[in-house]
Amino acid sequence: AQKITQTQPGMFVQEKEAVTLDCTYDTSDPSYGLFWYKQPSSGEMIFLIYQGSYDQQNATEGRYSLNFQKARKSANLVISASQLGDSAMYFCAMRVTGNNNDMRFGAGTRLTVKP
Amino acid sequence: NAGVTQTPKFQVLKTGQSMTLQCAQDMNHNSMYWYRQDPGMGLRLIYYSASEGTTDKGEVPNGYNVSRLNKREFSLRLESAAPSQTSVYFCASSEAGRWPQHFGDGTRLSIL
């Protein structure tokens, strides 16, 4: 069964600095996708970025980039130039292709951006 | 464009009562999901439906049942509510592959 691990319960970053949120995963399936979501205090889930296991390049979406190291089974989220509005919970998730579209989430990391 | 709509938004139940959480999506997605979110625990998958007519257990299915009524609607039923089921419940829908899930606003459920 697939498993997602986020080992950082909480992180602090100074405004305008970059921060890396860790995510490791475990699956024996060669075809899978990795997602990052943001959950602000208001509670909604906001999709940030996606990385496919066969994608040749690391995904980027504006200030978000994904540091995908397939051999290490890690998919860390990098947020550049942090803003106060980035303070939120961040979840890593994995979908194994062909596994009936099952999707599992990590426990999350609470990011606090300091002014 | 409503996306994923969950009802109710809040509910308080007594132990042993039953209730059904409703979820509907208007994006013509094949797959729908129910998660629960407890403080510090992230989202745990209860049940999902890969397509109309199919349902599968997730990580924490005990105490719950689901019905994929049609392509739009996926309901979650608590037959005999227990205090351990106090949580925030999220419904989501998506297509397969690289498409992200779209989430509802959640149902905050308290069981006394």
- Least CB-CB distance to A45: which of B44, B90, B97? B90
Distance of alpha carbon A27 from alpha carbon A101, whole angstroms: 14
pLDDT confidence of residue A50: 94
Distance of alpha carbon A12 from alpha carbon A111, whole angstroms: 6
Sorting pLDDT into bands at 50, 70 and 90, what band is B5?
very high
CB-CB neighbors (< 8 A) of B91 in chain A: none
**Contact (Cβ atoms closer than 8 angstroms) between residue B16 and residue B58:** no
pLDDT tens-digit profile of B49-102? 988 889 999 889 999 999 998 999 999 999 999 999 999 999 999 987 778 889
CB contact under 8 A, A103 and B45: yes
Distance of alpha carbon B45 from alpha carbon B32, whole angstroms: 11
With CA atoms as reference, the chain B residue closest to A104 would be B45
pLDDT confidence of residue B1: 59
Contacts 24+ apart (CB under 8 A), B48-51: B48/A100, B48/A101, B48/A102, B48/A103, B49/B74, B50/A100, B50/A101, B50/B96
pLDDT confidence of residue A2: 76
Contacts 24+ apart (CB under 8 A), B64-73: B64/B34, B66/B34, B68/B32, B71/B28, B71/B30, B72/B24, B72/B25, B72/B26, B73/B22, B73/B23, B73/B24
Q: What value does the mean pLDDT take over residues B26-38? A: 93
Token pair for B63: 């105490």
Low-confidence residues of chain A: pLDDT under 70:
1, 97-101
Mean pLDDT of all residues in chain B?
Answer: 92
Q: Is there a cis peptide before residue B8, judged by omega within 30 degrees of 0?
A: yes
CB contact under 8 A, B100 and A47: yes
A/B interface, count of CB pairs below 8 Å: 61
The residue assigned the tokens 């419940």 is B89
pLDDT confidence of residue B2: 73
pLDDT confidence of residue B50: 86
pLDDT confidence of residue A59: 96
